[in-house]
């Protein structure tokens, strides 16, 4: 699949103390021991001490279960074959019994090894019920006397039956285990309160970061200057709350961070805690939701209780939309729904704050539109801080922050890289620097070059290049002319973004790609720019039709993108002369309910007019692009042949071809051959370098 990548068509108008005390006390008591260990661990041959483990109630319970299982298995192993009295007398007369142990009510015996009974039952032991009062004793004596006359050797022992052992194994031990189970899981919890094992199921699963663990400051955050200014008041309040109380001011109790994924919402919350030097309680919204109703609400109450005990502090709720969705139709379970009870608990806890609690709740979400209005009202999350995608200046600063940890070459241009990464988040930019460092390391380079950064950017956004993939000659030719069409129109249209590079190397789901390099971040789209995008999208299909005498499915993504842009122009942006500036698209609330079919709010006649206008806009763009290509067929053909030869062309190469020049640079095959020769003869290259004179 071949694809032309352009910026997204989205308009952005410029318009707890006990726990900490225990931890500190424990650390203080162990300072001397830790220093002793550190000093002694440096001695040669000194082995580190083995860790010590404490057995809790659960460990003892597991041990008891294992012992009980072993006893039951042993008891099962002691069970022998049970014979009837007539069978026992028959085997006794036949001389198949080797030993007898006669008790008051039971006889336990053992067969000889080579008897058929032992082989059939796969065991030599047996038992038989013995009732002397019914004449069994006389029958046994007669059988034993008869066996003695026949010369049979039978070992006979008389023993008392040990009923107490069987009674203990079958009745007393299970009862003791059951009593122990109830003790460890119920009695200890009732005695220990909420700190018990079972009751801890309703305790909060937050992670506490102490004052000494958070090292993130505003120096580590870039690209969100306005958001940093918004939270400056919160930091000042946590540092000096009396400053605000002097005039009766109250800091917002809740701050809602809104922004796309990867833009630094969690990092900004950590920065607030790091700058204010206060404990940081971190928990995800999904940690509150369980299958048992009431557990989430219990965890909410426990979280806020511990936070108040450790005030001043910050509670950070990540992905708050997991529990903060709008109540009503989306809550199928009604008022007994677990998520709704959790939300109600959060609302009560936040509204129950005292102004001097010095506990600030920070929540992060990328779906602020689906949050319950009671959660975002003043007094709860009454301040919303937007954390947007960084602009070009912010991307440069983010790249510089992440570049501190790596070695950059002299040709690495972070400003150019920032220009080529529109709509990239901070997480994407961090991934680019990391991928570039990995690629340079694998290539045994001394530093990261600009080529490594560009390859890392393409890999992060579109996937790894499939250079080893075998492509059919005809398919490769179609790909070259397809991408050449995109390249030609992208280069000739002044309203389109400048060309960056074009490649027919398969990458991700694409067979080839044409990359644009915007000169600036677009906060709005003009009609001319949208029409230019449409022409660039159609150029690949037109080039296939004119030069390959056929069309392929490679233009699928281009057609989808062009259709989406045309629909937005007509239905959302009001760029239709016939329909005028009227919005015919579904509203935002309907779009969020993906399980519902959007209801049209216009007539069939208007729907026909919308379809006609969309088709007209796309048809005009297609025809204009076709005329432009027909006027520059020789240029497009030269670009396609260069792509077949070099596989990748940058903007300078394309400009040189459009001006009528010929490229003179090594092909991919030449580069691969040189690299192979360098690997096979490394010593020759070193000698050549040594022979070179030093100026």
* Those residues with Cβ within 8 angstroms of residue 631's Cβ, 6 or more apart along the chain or in another chain: none
**Mean pLDDT, residues 182-200:** 52
* Those residues with Cβ within 8 angstroms of residue 385's Cβ, 6 or more apart along the chain or in another chain: 227, 230, 231, 255, 256, 257, 258, 268
Q: Is the pLDDT of residue 592 over 80?
A: no
Confidence (pLDDT) at 489: 95
Residue 485: pLDDT band (50, 70, 90) is very high
How far apart are the C-alpha atoms of 198 and 202, rounded to whole Å? 8
How far apart are the C-alpha atoms of 255 and 238, rounded to whole Å? 14
**Mean pLDDT, residues 358-363:** 84
Q: Which long-range CB contacts under 8 A does 77-81 form with residues at least 24 apart?
A: 80/108, 80/123, 80/125, 80/126, 80/127, 81/121, 81/123, 81/125, 81/126, 81/127
At 198-211, the pLDDT tens digits run 445 456 566 666 66
Residues 54, 60: contact at Cβ < 8 Å?
A: no
Residue 674: pLDDT band (50, 70, 90) is low
At 368-405, the pLDDT tens digits run 888 888 888 887 887 888 888 888 888 999 999 999 88
Q: 473-671, superfamily in CATH?
A: Peptidase M41 (1.20.58.760)
How far apart are the C-alpha atoms of 648 and 667, rounded to whole Å? 10
How far apart are the C-alpha atoms of 188 and 392, rounded to whole Å? 60
Lowest mean pLDDT: which of 121-125, 126-130, 548-552? 121-125
Residue 33: pLDDT band (50, 70, 90) is very low
Residue 423: pLDDT band (50, 70, 90) is confident
At 284-304, the pLDDT tens digits run 777 776 655 667 777 888 888
Asked if 203-386 and 392-462 have one fold, the answer is: no
CATH code for the domain defined by 80-161: 3.30.720.210
At 14-25, the pLDDT tens digits run 333 333 333 333
How far apart are the C-alpha atoms of 482 and 539, rounded to whole Å? 7
Confidence (pLDDT) at 301: 81
Quickly name the fold that domain 392-462 has: Helicase, Ruva Protein; domain 3 (1.10.8)
C-beta atoms surrounding 288 within 10 Å: 27
How far apart are the C-alpha atoms of 474 and 476, rounded to whole Å? 5
Confidence (pLDDT) at 24: 39
The larger pLDDT score, comparing residue 638 to residue 32, is at 638
The larger pLDDT score, comparing residue 673 to residue 485, is at 485
Which tokens sit at 285? 């919204």
Nearest to 99 by CA among 20, 14, 157, 57: 157
Confidence (pLDDT) at 45: 44
- The per-residue pLDDT of the chain, averaged, comes to 76
Nearest to 310 by CA among 24, 16, 18: 16
Confidence (pLDDT) at 621: 95
At 60-106, the pLDDT tens digits run 667 777 777 766 665 555 556 778 888 888 888 888 888 888 877 77
Q: Is the pLDDT of residue 442 over 50?
A: yes
Sheet of strand 106-111, all strands in order from the earlier edge strand to the far edge:
81-83, 125-129, 106-111, 97-102, 155-158
Confidence (pLDDT) at 441: 92
Strands (E) in 366-498, as ranges, are 383-386
| Largest pairwise CA distance in the chain | 125
**Mean pLDDT, residues 531-540:** 95
Confidence (pLDDT) at 194: 42
Strand 254-258 and strand 280-284: the pairing is unpaired
Confidence (pLDDT) at 214: 67
**Mean pLDDT, residues 118-146:** 77
Highest mean pLDDT among 179-183, 328-332, 487-491: 487-491
The 3-state DSSP class for residue 322 equals: helix
Confidence (pLDDT) at 262: 87
The larger pLDDT score, comparing residue 327 to residue 579, is at 579
Q: Is the pLDDT of residue 523 over 90?
A: no
Nearest to 443 by CA among 692, 690, 671: 671
Confidence (pLDDT) at 668: 61
The larger pLDDT score, comparing residue 67 to residue 598, is at 67
How far apart are the C-alpha atoms of 504 and 481, rounded to whole Å? 10
Confidence (pLDDT) at 222: 83
The larger pLDDT score, comparing residue 661 to residue 559, is at 559
Confidence (pLDDT) at 48: 43
Q: Is the peptide bond before 312 cis (omega within 30 degrees of 0)?
A: yes
pTM greater than 0.85 (yes/no): no
How far apart are the C-alpha atoms of 141 and 369, rounded to whole Å? 95
Highest mean pLDDT among 274-288, 468-482, 611-625: 611-625
Confidence (pLDDT) at 335: 46
Q: Where are the domains of the chain?
A: 80-161, 165-200, 203-386, 392-462, 473-671
Q: Is the pLDDT of residue 8 over 50?
A: no
At 38-54, the pLDDT tens digits run 444 444 444 444 444 45
Q: 203-386, superfamily in CATH?
A: P-loop containing nucleotide triphosphate hydrolases (3.40.50.300)
Give the active site residues: 483
């Amino acid at each position: 699949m071949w694809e032309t990548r352009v910026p997204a068509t989205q308009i952005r108008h410029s318009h707890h103390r006990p726990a900490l005390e225990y931890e500190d006390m424990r650390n203080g008591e162990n300072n001397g021991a830790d220093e002793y260990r550190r000093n002694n661990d440096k001695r040669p041959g000194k082995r580190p001490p083995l860790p010590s483990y404490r057995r809790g109630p659960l460990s003892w319970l597991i041990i008891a279960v294992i012992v009980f299982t072993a006893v039951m298995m042993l008891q099962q192993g002691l069970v022998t074959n049970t014979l009837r009295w007539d069978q026992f007398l028959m085997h006794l007369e036949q001389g198949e019994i080797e030993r007898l142990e006669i008790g008051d009510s039971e006889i336990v015996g053992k067969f000889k090894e080579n008897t058929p009974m032992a082989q059939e039952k796969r065991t030599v032991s047996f038992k038989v019920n013995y009732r002397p009062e019914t004449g069994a004793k006389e029958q046994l004596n007669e059988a034993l006397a008869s066996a003695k006359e026949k010369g049979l050797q039978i070992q006979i022992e008389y023993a008392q039956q040990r009923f107490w052992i069987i009674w203990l194994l079958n009745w007393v031990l299970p009862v003791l285990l059951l009593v122990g189970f109830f003790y460890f899981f119920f009695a200890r919890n009732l005695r220990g309160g909420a700190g018990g094992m079972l009751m801890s199921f309703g305790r909060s699963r937050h992670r506490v970061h102490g004052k000494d663990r958070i090292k993130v400051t505003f120096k580590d955050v870039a690209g969100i200057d306005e958001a940093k200014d918004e939270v400056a008041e919160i930091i000042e309040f946590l540092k000096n709350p009396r400053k605000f109380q002097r005039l009766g001011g109250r800091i917002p109790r809740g701050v809602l961070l809104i922004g796309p994924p990867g833009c630094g919402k969690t990092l900004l919350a950590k920065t607030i805690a790091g700058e204010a030097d206060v404990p940081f309680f971190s928990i995800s919204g999904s940690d509150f939701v369980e299958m048992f109703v009431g557990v989430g609400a219990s965890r909410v109450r426990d979280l806020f209780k511990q936070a108040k005990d450790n005030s001043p502090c910050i509670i950070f709720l990540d992905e708050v939309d997991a529990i903060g969705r709008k109540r009503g139709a989306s809550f199928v379970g009604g008022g007994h729904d677990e998520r709704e009870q959790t939300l109600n608990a959060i609302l009560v806890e936040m509204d129950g704050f005292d102004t001097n609690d010095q506990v600030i709740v920070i929540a992060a979400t990328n779906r602020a539109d689906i949050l319950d209005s009671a959660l975002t009202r003043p007094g709860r999350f009454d301040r919303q801080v937007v954390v947007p995608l960084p602009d070009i200046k912010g991307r440069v600063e983010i790249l510089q922050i992440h570049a501190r940890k790596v070695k950059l070459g002299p040709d690495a241009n972070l400003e150019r890289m920032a220009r080529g990464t529109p709509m990239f988040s901070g997480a994407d930019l961090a991934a680019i620097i990391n991928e570039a460092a990995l690629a340079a390391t694998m290539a045994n380079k001394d530093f990261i070059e600009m080529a490594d950064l560009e390859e890392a950017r393409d890999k992060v956004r579109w996937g790894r290049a499939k250079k080893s993939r075998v492509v059919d000659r005809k398919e490769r030719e179609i790909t070259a002319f397809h991408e050449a069409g995109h390249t030609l129109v992208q280069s000739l249209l002044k309203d389109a973004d400048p060309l960056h590079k074009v490649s027919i190397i398969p990458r991700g789901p694409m067979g080839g790609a044409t990359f644009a390099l915007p000169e600036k971040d677009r906060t709005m789209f003009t009609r001319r720019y949208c029409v230019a995008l449409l022409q660039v999208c159609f150029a690949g299909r037109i080039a296939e039709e004119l030069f390959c005498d056929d069309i392929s499915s490679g233009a699928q993504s281009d057609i989808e993108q062009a259709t989406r842009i045309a629909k937005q122009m007509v239905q959302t942006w009001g760029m239709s002369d016939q329909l005028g500036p009227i919005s015919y698209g579904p509203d935002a609330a309907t779009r969020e309910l993906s399980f519902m079919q959007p209801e049209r709010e216009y007539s069939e006649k208007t729907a026909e007019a919308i379809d006609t206008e969309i088709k007209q806009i796309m048809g005009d763009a297609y025809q204009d692009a076709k005329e432009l290509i027909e006027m520059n067929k020789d240029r497009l053909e030269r670009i396609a042949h260069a792509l077949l030869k070099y596989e990748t062309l940058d903007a300078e190469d394309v400009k040189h071809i459009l001006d009528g020049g010929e490229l003179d640079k090594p092909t991919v095959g030449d580069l691969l051959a040189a690299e192979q020769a360098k690997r096979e003869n490394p010593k020759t290259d070193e000698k050549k370098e040594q022979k070179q004179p030093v100026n």
